[in-house]
């Protein structure tokens, strides 16, 4: 399950783990104009862990999800 909220300066997507077995903490993704942040609560440190990615890195990640093993270079196309 996930939620999408549009804030003043970003879009916030929250991913909630569902199902049987060991479940992970919610993942919160903030989409800003110049970067993406990914946050998740870490019960071991009792704090939030945060990763910041550029928009280009996020586009590369999205493209990589359905590709087989290998080395790739993504190019943007202007249609």
77 found inside a domain: no
Residue span of the structural domain in which 16 resides: 2-64
17 found inside a domain: yes
69 found inside a domain: no
75 found inside a domain: no
Structurally, the chain folds into a number of domains equal to 1
24 found inside a domain: yes
3-state secondary structure of 60: helix
74 found inside a domain: no
Distance of alpha carbon 78 from alpha carbon 19, whole angstroms: 41
pTM higher than the cut 0.85: no
User: Residue 68 carries which DSSP code?
Assistant: P
43's CB contacts (< 8 A; 6+ apart) are 25
56 found inside a domain: yes
Q: Dump pLDDT digits (tens) for 15-68.
A: 999 988 889 999 999 999 999 999 999 999 999 999 999 999 998 898 888 888
The confidence score (pLDDT) of residue 72 equals 83
């Amino acid at each position: 399950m996930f939620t999408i909220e549009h804030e003043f300066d970003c879009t916030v997507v929250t991913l909630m783990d569902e199902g049987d077995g060991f479940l992970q903490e919610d993942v919160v993704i903030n989409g800003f104009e110049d970067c993406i942040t990914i946050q998740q609560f870490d019960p071991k440190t009792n704090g939030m862990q945060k990763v910041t990615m550029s928009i280009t890195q996020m586009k590369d990640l999205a493209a990589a999800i359905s590709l087989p093993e290998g080395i790739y270079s993504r190019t943007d196309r202007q249609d």
